Amino acid sequence: MIWEGTNNCARMIYVFDDGLKGVEFGNGLTAKSSVDDWLRIAGQPARRSKDGADWITYDLPQATVTLNFRAETKGLYVLLMEKPGGRGWAQ
């Protein structure tokens, strides 16, 4: 977590790999769900890029959420949440 001391709030929360094991996100999504499962349930992202792995970013009113899926396992590897308007990890 990156803390924004001047506003007394988190600017960014970053969870990856082992921190995602066993986490259930709702609607049956887990860290083992494929990017296609996430797209089917969460809808089309605001941004998507591929650089050997899949990165998808959703711009929500409460936060900018970026998900990174490992190429070799096809599962979720990184979850990044930023204040609204964040750039996302891959952009």
Confidence at 71, pLDDT banded by 50, 70, 90: confident
- Amino acid 85: pLDDT: 72
CATH number of 2-82: 3.30.1450
Q: Domain segments of the chain: what residues?
A: 2-82
Interval 4-63: pLDDT, tens: 677 766 767 768 777 788 888 889 999 889 889 999 999 999 999 887 778 999 998 888
State CA 22 to chain mean position distance: 16
